[in-house]
């Protein structure tokens, strides 16, 4: 039976990294060492398990390309991406919830006219006309010139970058609010889809008996100078899949009431922004 490594070993490793100049990096590394060492001791990781772990990371690296980052998928399905979003941007009283960005955000989507559709005329699926208002959370004042960056999967469950049949930047677009803070656009009625599960993360989900399902949603980033950028998603009120989002994002503070209107749908949805610094998230795939 092997002996338990004592605390002195961890202290020695901590000391070896105590000369990092950047105080934030120094603190992060020290916390990482403490927690990783504690994990390994609590798990009593065997040689075979350690070999499996580094081989799993190697396979995640092999699966990663400019079009998909397996490490990001792993963080998403472990709840880490959503946790970081909530830590940095979530607040109790916030009426519209914050969501992870997801791996399929592309920067530089085309600006489209008010009322335009992000779906090509021949794209299968029902349409939804979405309108609403962007306003300052603290004062309720309308925000003119706010930008809604919106993207969604096609009815076959694939984003444009995953599907050669779709035109470039299909189901993506940017819209500006008018002087009353309002916007209007047409999208596809969102449908449930499967996230890619043909890599190590997919294997892991199978072992965990977790279906790789994302409830139907539309992604939206709302930004305006002087306001904290809101990264969110709109889910469909009453969708039972909301409870089983594979990436732990869907929640009742991000549901829209999609009302049938003829053979299409109608949604009114408002976005409150808090005063703050306007930043845009880094796109995981190239423009
Ligand atoms: C998405 O909503 O696009 C997404 C989020 C996390 C993992 C995979 C897909
Ligand atoms: Fe998505």
What confidence tier does 94 reach under pLDDT thresholds 50, 70, 90? confident
Question: What average pLDDT does this structure show over 256-269?
Answer: 97
Instruction: Report yes or no on 73 lying in a domain.
Output: no
Q: What is the CATH number of the domain that holds 220?
A: 2.60.130.10
% of the chain beyond a pLDDT of 90: 94
Ligand 1 site, residue 89, Cβ cutoff 6 A: no
Query: Which residue has the CA at smallest separation from atom 3 of ligand 1?
Result: 102
The residue-averaged pLDDT of 56-63 equals 98
Banded pLDDT at 105 (limits 50, 70, 90): very high
Shared-domain flag, residues 43 and 143: no
Q: Are residues 37 and 157 in the same domain?
A: no
Between these two residues, 4 and 127, which has the higher pLDDT value? 127
| Pocket of ligand 1 contains residue 190 by CB under 6 Å | no
Based on the fold, state whether residues 141 and 55 are members of the same structural domain: no
pLDDT digits (tens, 9 = 90+) for 167-203: 999 999 999 999 999 999 999 999 999 999 999 999 9
Structure tokens at 241: 């899949």
Identify the residue whose C-alpha is closest to ligand 1 atom 4: 102
Distance CA 100, CA 208 (A): 22
Q: Are residues 250 and 128 in the same domain?
A: yes
Pair (144, 191) in one structural domain:
yes
Q: Please give the pLDDT value at position 93.
A: 79
pLDDT of residue 5: 73
> Residue 3 pLDDT more than 80?
no
pLDDT digit string, tens, across residues 208-237: 999 999 999 999 999 999 999 999 999 999
pLDDT surpassing 70 at residue 4: no
Is there a single domain that holds both residue 34 and residue 110?
no
Pair (156, 109) in one structural domain? yes
The verdict on 126 and 29 lying in the same domain is no
Q: Examine the pLDDT at 2 and tell me if it is beyond 70.
A: no
154 within 8 A of 163, measured Cβ to Cβ: yes
Task: Tell me the residue range of the domain where 37 lies.
Answer: 5-63
Does the C-beta of 234 come closer than 6 Å to ligand 1?
no
Count how many domains the chain has: 2
Same domain flag for 195 and 254: yes
Is the beta carbon of 102 within 6 A of some atom in ligand 1? yes
Residue 284 forms part of a structural domain:
no
- Please check the confidence at residue 59 and state whether its pLDDT lies above 90: yes
Residues 28 and 85 in one domain: no
Co-location of 85 and 59 in the same domain: no
Residue nearest (by alpha carbon) to ligand 1 atom 8? 195
Q: Does residue 285 sit within a domain?
A: no
What 3 state SS string does the chain have? CCCCCCHHHHHHHHHHCCCCCCHHHHHHHHHHHHHHHHHHHHHCCCHHHHHHHHHHHHHHHHHCECCECHHHHHHHHCCHHHHHHHHHHCCCCCCCCCCCCCCCCCCCCCECCCCCECCCCCCCCCEEEEEEEEEECCCCCECCCCEEEEECCCCCCCCHHHCCCCCCCCCEEEEECCCCCEEEEEEECCCCEECCCCCHHHHHHHHCCCCCEECCEEEEEEECCCECCEEEEEEECCCHHHHHCCCCCCCHHHEECCEEECCEEEEECCEEECECCCCCCCCCCCC
Range 79-94 average pLDDT: 92
Atom of ligand 1 nearest to the CA of 104: 3
Q: What local confidence, expressed as pLDDT, does residue 117 receive? A: 98
130 and 46 part of one domain: no
Q: Which of 13, 34, 63 is the last residue of a domain?
A: 63
Mean pLDDT of 125-151: 97
Looking at the chain, the whole-number percentage of residues with pLDDT higher than 70 is: 99
Answer whether residue 1 shows pLDDT above 60: no
């Amino acid at each position: 039976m092997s002996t338990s490594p004592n605390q002195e070993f961890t202290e020695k490793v901590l000391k070896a990294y105590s000369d990092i100049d950047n105080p934030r990096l120094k603190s992060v590394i020290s916390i990482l060492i403490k927690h990783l060492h504690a994990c390994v001791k609590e798990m009593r990781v065997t040689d075979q398990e350690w070999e499996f772990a580094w081989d799993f990371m190697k396979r995640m690296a092999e699966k990663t390309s400019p079009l998909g980052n397996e490490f990001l998928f792993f963080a998403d399905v472990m709840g880490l991406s959503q946790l970081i979003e909530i830590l940095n941007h979530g607040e109790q009283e916030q009426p519209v919830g914050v969501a992870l960005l997801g791996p399929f955000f592309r920067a530089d989507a085309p600006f489209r006219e008010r009322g335009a559709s992000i779906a090509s005329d021949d794209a299968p699926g029902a349409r939804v006309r979405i309108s609403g208002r962007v306003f300052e959370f603290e004062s309720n004042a309308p925000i003119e010139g706010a930008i809604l960056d919106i993207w969604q999967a096609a009815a076959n469950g694939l984003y444009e970058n995953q599907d050669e049949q779709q035109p470039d930047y299909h189901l993506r677009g940017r819209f500006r609010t008018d002087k009353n803070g309002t916007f209007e656009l047409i999208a596809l009625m969102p449908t449930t889809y499967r996230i890619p599960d043909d890599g190590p993360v997919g294997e892991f989900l199978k072992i965990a008996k977790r279906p790789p399902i994302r409830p139907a949603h539309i992604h939206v980033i709302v930004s305006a100078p002087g306001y904290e950028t809101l990264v969110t998603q709109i889910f469909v009120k009453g969708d039972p899949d909301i409870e089983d989002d594979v990436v732990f994002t869907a929640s009742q503070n991000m549901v829209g009431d999609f009302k049938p209107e003829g053979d299409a749908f109608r949604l009114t949805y408002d976005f409150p922004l808090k005063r703050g610094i306007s930043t845009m998230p880094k796109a995981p795939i190239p423009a």
